[in-house]
Chains A and B, each alone.
Chain A
Amino acid sequence: MVMALFAASIIFYELPPLMAILLLQVPLLLMGGVAREWARTLRGGAMLAAIIFASNLISFYFFQGYTLTTEMVELSLSLSIRFISLMTSFSIFFLTTSPDELSLALEKARVPYEFNFAFITAIRFVPVLAEEAQSIMDAQRARGLEMERGGLLARLRNYIPVLLPLIVNSIRRSLELAEAMESRGFGASRRRTNLYELRMRGGDYLVVVSSMALLGASIYLRLSGIPMGPIIPPRRIL
């Protein structure tokens, strides 16, 4: 569903359908119980949306021969809203879907387990790597390394004492991980069981069907050439 809305926001650039999409996302946010988290991301996103609006408006003004029409304002506003609805789609997806569930879904879609495993392990090691990078940086700064010193080239060179231990440690870690995987019977059985299984229920089918319908309708609207904007008759402002 979210994906369909996501795709739809890319398809349209007119104001009315984009507003409709944003409105459709509201019940989804509430159903997912992630409205508060979403509001927090929105606070960061609002600034960006404002920048998108302003930069579009300014560039229209300059490239359209120093004129500004209501159409341009409307279009800039649409683009900002498109950004917000894209962001909302992302938020809904990642706030409601744990990586474990995503991996189960991939498994259901017959993606080989090795890819799944790599995906989960990668997520698992993000914080470990971040912590390690911090320790390395601390250790090298304690030896007098000043990361911000020198010109561009020198600064790039300053990263070597941080990157090298990180790489060497990762290689060492991958060997240890391989040992641990072997010791836990990785790849022992061709028919691996997963503790959990995703089952499609009535509601899930409903979601799939309505998502498809939404996507189909959007594509139809786009290709049919039915005019959807501008909603305010074009008039010159400046």
Chain B
Amino acid sequence: MGIIEARDLWYLYPNAGEPSLKGLNMDIGRGEFVLLTGPSGCGKTTFCRCLNGLIPHFYDGELRGELRVSGLNTREHPIAELARHVGLVFQNPDNQIFALTVEKEVAFGPENLGLDRREILEAVEWALRAAGIAELRHRGTNELSGGQKQRLAIASVLAMRPEIIVLDEPTSFLDPMGAERIFEVLERLRREFQITVILIEHRVDLAVRYADRVVVFNDGRIIANGSPEEVFGAEESRLAGVGTPKIIELGKRLARRGVSLGGLPITVEDFVSRMRKALPAHGGPPPAWRMRRREPEFPGGSPIIEVEGISYTYPNGVRAIDGVSLTINRGEFIAIMGENGAGKTTLVKHFNGLLKPQTGRVIVDGVDTSKASVAALARKVGLVFQNPDDQLFAESVEEEIRFGLRNFGFEGDVIEKRVEWALNLLDIERYRRSSPFTLSGGERKRVALASVLAWDPEVVVLDEPTIGQDYAQKERLRHFLMQLRTRGKTVIMVTHDVEFVAENRPRVILMAGGRIIADGPMERIMGDAESLKAASITPPEIAKAFRGLSGYGLPADVYDVEEAAEIIVRLLRGDGD
């Protein structure tokens, strides 16, 4: 008998036109690690809410079918009772922490259950250790980093001793290192305590190695359910807008070209060990062949942003930027990378004058930012922030786009033309009269983008544009960035999405501890193991795999799946070139 059994689960939110779950059947066994994925709005979150009884006890609406969790029918048992069997961890770490200290936060659940003090203390101690945050016990919850907060959220549900833990995109706000730490904690919970883990995640590439099973949702239904090999080996998951991890994609392409690795590789290590078996001990010379592509051009255009030895310390004493110099030319495409707190966002806030340098100076298009208003600079440098909800306020999408144009004093008929243009550019005409608040997360992000691009700034800065975005949304963003570049715009993105950067081949600036530690074309920086490590960035998967096979003389700067497949095929054929 499974620990979770769903039979024809169907659910309609109150006032919704279409059901969010359309007949779901699923069995999950005790101690399984299930990776649940699918495009935004596919019903994953709704399913989570069913698991601990938030549906139907907290949300009204119509629920059909049956769901049993640990043998309990969720319809007949209150949330508080189900909470002792299923722990739910949400996406935003801040919106699930109530207490002022770590210890009190973890105790919150058991306190609510009215356990006695000794039991609570035991539960707290165990949960803190299991989540790997025992040393944070007496810290204030406000001083924690995003990753620590999310591990605290895990500890807090663990304290109620559930058999199942469900996490709804827990790493959306974290950098790749922070995400790995979370996944490792989950791995341990499963291994040491036989806790069933259900992980909802867009970052399939990072999470897949931990999963026994992958379930793909689309439009309220399950469209794939099986081992990672089975699911990613099939074509359907790709069609549903779930990206296949690069290493699996490479395995698939090799298989198609007749290279048998004895099954689909799921992780880099897996791929490397399978390849070692397939390759002859003393192979021929390494292939010199490389995919021919245009050299990454660094437009020799005149400088548009010049940063000269700036430093910035926040009032709380944190030195976010420590002596940074940098020149950005017109028409360049740049990715600024580094872990959370490396100073990336602080740096880009200097580009439109939101922050003025405390030492050194910043020149934007010939103007010293300390002598210009934010409004004057923002006209040239459009900065789009990570969270669209921090800027949407108007009653309609059209109004939202007009806001900036009006602030910059455009004429009435020009404003209307620009609004049309921006609506078209981001493919949101059909929402023009809708309230931005009723749109989905991805759509809100596009409205925020349109509201900045409308005044056609020469430089576009995007802060974490891929965070929380599914595969299809990232693809759309990639095309959009290309479009901006062909129109001659300078595009700067702040990101820690390594694979996205590898696909887009920008100039990469690595930051750590408020300084720039490396700066150059993507191909070179992503091959610079030392600098990547200093910036807490793991190289793209393909590069990792090739480094693992370095004994065969493979180049270290290959990032493209097709190129990698071709090189391996030639290596196996023994072609010198």
Point out residues on A near B: beta carbons under 8 Å.
98-100, 117, 120-121, 123-124, 127-128, 132, 135-136, 138-146, 160-161, 164-165, 168-169, 172-173, 176-195, 197
Contacts and interface: CB of A to CB of B under 8 A. Distances in A.
B86 to A, nearest CB: 8
A160 B399 CA distance: 14
Contacts of B116: 193
Nearest to B78: A188
A135 B107 CA distance: 32
8 contacts: A124-B99, A128-B94, A136-B391, A143-B404, A177-B98, A184-B156, A184-B160, A193-B111
B382 interface: yes
Among A117, A143, A191, find the residue whose CB has the most chain B CB atoms closer than 10 A.
A143
A186 B112 contact: yes
Contact of B112 (A168, A179, A185): A185
A185 B390 contact: no
Interface in B437-456: 437, 451-452, 455
Contact of A143 (B79, B120, B156, B407): B407
Among A132, A165, A177, A180, find the residue whose CB has the most chain B CB atoms closer than 10 A.
A180
B117 A142 contact: no
Contacts of B115: 193
A144 B90 contact: no
A123 B100 contact: yes
Among B79, B97, B404, find the residue whose CB has the most chain A CB atoms closer than 10 A.
B79
A57 B491 CA distance: 64
Contacts of A194: 111
Contacts of B117: 193, 195, 197
B112 A165 contact: no
Given A124-B100, A165-B389, A184-B157, A143 B452 contact: yes
A183 B88 contact: yes
B375 A141 contact: yes
Nearest to B52: A183
Contacts, number: 169
Please name the 10 residue pairs, one residue from A and one from B, whose CB atoms are nearest each other, closest first.
A189-B114, A144-B407, A188-B80, A164-B393, A180-B96, A139-B391, A176-B95, A185-B112, A143-B404, A185-B80
A141 B54 contact: no
Nearest to B452: A143
Nearest to A143: B404
Task: Give the bracket for the number of chain B residues in contact with chain A.
Answer: 35 or more
A100 B140 CA distance: 11
Nearest to A176: B95
Q: Name the prevailing secondary structure of the A interface residues.
A: helix
Nearest to B373: A146
A184 B108 contact: yes
Contacts of A189: 80, 112-114
B354 A192 contact: no
Contact of B142 (A124, A141, A145, A172): A124
B98 A124 contact: yes
A195 B111 contact: yes
B3 interface: no
A138 to B, nearest CB: 5
Contacts of A139: 385, 390-391
Contacts of A165: 389-393
B408 interface: yes
B103 A195 contact: yes
B83 interface: yes
Interface of B: 49, 52, 54, 57-58, 78-81, 83-84, 87-88, 90, 92, 94-101, 103-104, 107-117, 120-121, 124, 141-142, 156-157, 160, 349, 352, 354, 373-375, 378-379, 382-383, 385, 387, 389-393, 403-404, 407-408, 437, 451-452, 455
Given A176-B95, A182-B54, A141 B374 contact: yes
Given A142-B374, A142-B378, A168 B83 contact: no
B392 A178 contact: no
Contacts of B100: 98-100, 120, 123-124
B57 to A, nearest CB: 8
A135 B103 CA distance: 29
A187 B79 CA distance: 10
A213 B79 CA distance: 51
Given A142-B352, A192-B114, A193-B120, A177 B96 contact: yes
Contacts of A161: 391, 393, 403
A192 B52 contact: no
A184 B389 CA distance: 27
A177 B92 CA distance: 10
A182 B98 CA distance: 12
Given A140-B391, A187-B80, A188-B114, 10 more contacts: A138-B385, A161-B403, A178-B58, A182-B57, A182-B58, A183-B52, A183-B157, A184-B156, A185-B84, A189-B112
A183 B87 contact: yes
B95 A187 contact: no
Contacts of B349: 138
Contacts of B96: 176-177, 180
A179 B157 CA distance: 13
A121 B142 CA distance: 12
Contacts of B79: 182-183, 185
A212 B103 CA distance: 35
A168 B121 contact: no
Nearest to A123: B100
A182 B87 CA distance: 11
B141 to A, nearest CB: 7
A127 B97 CA distance: 13
A160 B142 contact: no
Contacts of A144: 375, 378-379, 404, 407-408, 455
Contacts of B437: 168
Among A123, A132, A135, A183, find the residue whose CB has the most chain B CB atoms closer than 10 A.
A183
A124 B124 CA distance: 20
Contacts of A188: 78, 80-81, 83, 112-114
B179 to A, nearest CB: 21
Contacts of A99: 100
Nearest to B387: A135
Given A176-B96, A178-B58, A184 B121 contact: no
B354 A138 contact: yes
Contacts of B387: 135
A138 B387 CA distance: 12
A153 B387 CA distance: 29
B97 A124 contact: yes
A161 B406 CA distance: 13
